[in-house]
Each structure stands twice: as structure tokens, then as C-alpha cells.
Amino acid sequence: MTPSPTNPTPETGLTGLAQIAVTVHDLDGAVAFYRDVLGLPLLFQAPPGMAFLDLGGVRLLLGLGEGTGPEHRASVLYLRAADIAASHRALAGRGVVFDGKPHKVHEDARHELWLATFRDPEGNALALMAERPK
């Protein structure tokens, strides 16, 4: 069975890749490249220093980085969860150590955005992500 927004993985409720984050130093230059050169539609920009583009149905987050170490250039995989609380419980039950409980990180007129972050065994950053319509 292939997960989809209407057909989540039964064990964890994950439905696919929702977003990839790429750390940049020059947000305006990065937006110009991804939007104007690569032709990706700009969805919106949000403080502090973030731009969101559509990469074939997967959201690409360009964000200003704060560090200079190797993790500065790492991407973050955002896994879409049909029910973020249920996915959080299921994955925690499988040994995933989260940085905290699912929490709201953004709200606009259309939806609320919820995240719960964690790391894989190699230290790579991941997050559960859910958009709740208003």
C-alpha cells in the first residue's frame, strides 16, 4: 500500500513528504534563484527569514541559517501526518525521541501548522507536520 493524504500508513499515520527545508545565507538571492531561474511558484514568505515555494506538491522552505557548522547545510524532512498527535504517540512507542510534543508554529486565515521535531539515529533532523484547516 502506498501512503497518500487519504490513505495513511496504518502503523504511524504518515502520508508522505510534506516539506523540505534548505538553509541559505541570502534569502532574496535564494528566492530569486528558485523562483526565477528554476521556475518554482512562490507560495508565501514569513518572518523571520523564511520563504516557501511549491516543488511539485512538496513545499520547499528556504530559511536563513544561524550556524556555520556541518548541520548548517543539512536539509530537514517534514513528514506529513494525517493526525499528528496519533503519529507522535505511535512513533514514540517505537522508540522515537521527540524534542517535545506537537505544537502550533504558524496560523493564518486558512489553517494552523503543527510540528513535532526529532532526529534519526545519524542525527539528521526530521519533523512531523500537520496542517489543520480553520
Residue ranges covered by each domain of the chain? 14-133
What's the topology of domain 14-133?
2,3-Dihydroxybiphenyl 1,2-Dioxygenase; domain 1 (3.10.180)
Give pLDDT, residue 1. Answer: 46
Strand order, beta sheet including 58-64: 42-46, 50-55, 58-64, 14-24, 76-81, 125-133, 111-119, 103-107
DSSP-derived letter for residue 71 is G
> Average pLDDT of the chain?
86
Asked if the model's pLDDT at residue 25 lies above 70, the reply is: yes
Q: Between 2 and 81, whose confidence is greater?
A: 81
Residues with Cβ < 8 Å from 26, sequence gap 6 or more?
none
Asked if the model's pLDDT at residue 29 lies above 50, the reply is: yes
